[in-house]
Structure 1
Amino acid sequence: MSSPTAHSADHDTTACKASRHARVQQLITADETSLIELETLVATLPICSTGRVFVEVPDASWIFDLTVPARMIVTWLDRSQRSGEPGSGRSCAPGQALARAVNAWSDEMLCPGAEESVCAGGTRIHLLGGYLGTADIFDHLTETLGTDAASIATPARFGLVTAR
């Protein structure tokens, strides 16, 4: 997986409890193909992390209690309960609900150039899961919001980030 700058050493329990400590916002996406990667990633987050985790699954039977830092919110997207393109009458395709939800959230919550911004101490973005949803989100973040592609962690097999 390509990776933005690693978490700094100043994110220990004492530092994270300090009132003036910059809290790093996280945006994390996943689907049913990346649940183990997701659990591994959230287990390594500093306790002071804020932000959102979006997980798209085929149906409600995939939903479980995902433990995340207290200031983070997990949103489960049950594909079986969502429609495809408006007016098409089609079912929701893999990655479609994830891309719609994350792109809408990003438009409202991310500052332009969020990976370097001072708002919320910057944003770390980890896109896990299938190629279709990940590619749509990656394109939206880089082309519409101007996020530096090298600052977005994606599975290397997708080839979404070119060598610097």
Structure 2
Amino acid sequence: MATLIESVVTHDAAACRASRHARVQQLITADETSLVDLETLVATLPICSTGRVFVEVPDASWIFDLTVPARMIVTWLDRSARTGDPGTGRACAPGQALARAVIAWADEMLCTDADEACATRIHLLGGFLGTADIADHLTGTLGVDQSAVHTPARFGLATAH
């Protein structure tokens, strides 16, 4: 977990209030297997962080009040309330709701290197299936540098942290 903490810029509340303070957009994903890592990571974020946290869980009983900086939004994805691939009638597989939501958000909202006023930190903490699909989309389709995508080392994807 130390590497996750080291990758977050540290600064104080006064710096966050400064009018010329650069805002860093965060994209964070997790599932029921990574909730402790998620809580640890968001606890280290500067109060001025912006962005999204997407968390996929098996059902609504897993949802809790996750404290994030005021400019961030948490989206809980209840797998039991979602369907799998369109037209199949199957249940939503682990990682499927997370990948669909994050890819849709990233296609529309993710800051890119071309946008000099914005930088994005990406931490994909969920299970392998959703994380692999998201990392592939970010690096392959959107052209995000692999070094900007932080994933668990055990997955062997992008940059492990």
Do these two structures clear the TM 0.5 threshold for a shared fold by scoring above it? yes
Which ranges of structure 1 fall in alignment gaps of 5 or more residues? none
The reply to whether residue 7 of structure 1 matches residue 5 of structure 2 is no
Aligned counterpart, 2:157: 160
Deviations 1:34-87 (A, max 9, x none): 000000000000000000000000000000000000000000000000000001
Aligned counterpart, 1:77: 77
3-state DSSP of counterpart to 2:147: helix
- The structure 1 segments of at least 4 consecutive aligned residues displaced by more than 2 Å after TM superposition are 1-9, 111-114
Aligned counterpart, 2:116: 118
Deviations 1:2-49 (A, max 9, x none): 76983344x211000112211110000000000000000000000000
Structure 2-normalised TM-score?
0.92
- State whether residues 56 and 77 of structure 2, in contact with CA within 8 Å, keep that contact through their aligned partners in structure 1: yes
Structure 1-normalised TM-score?
0.90
- State whether residues 113 and 146 of structure 1, in contact with CA within 8 Å, keep that contact through their aligned partners in structure 2: no
Across the aligned residues of Structure 1 and Structure 2, the Cα RMSD in angstroms comes to 2.0
The 5-angstrom pairing of residues 45-56 of structure 1 reads: 45-56=45-56
**Bigger relative CO (Cα 8 Å, ≥ 6 apart):** 1
Which ranges of structure 2 fall in alignment gaps of 5 or more residues? none
The one-letter code of the counterpart of 1:125 is I
Partner Cα distance (1:81, 1:56) in 2: 11
3-state DSSP of counterpart to 2:122: strand
The reply to whether residue 136 of structure 1 matches residue 136 of structure 2 is no
The one-letter code of the counterpart of 1:131 is F
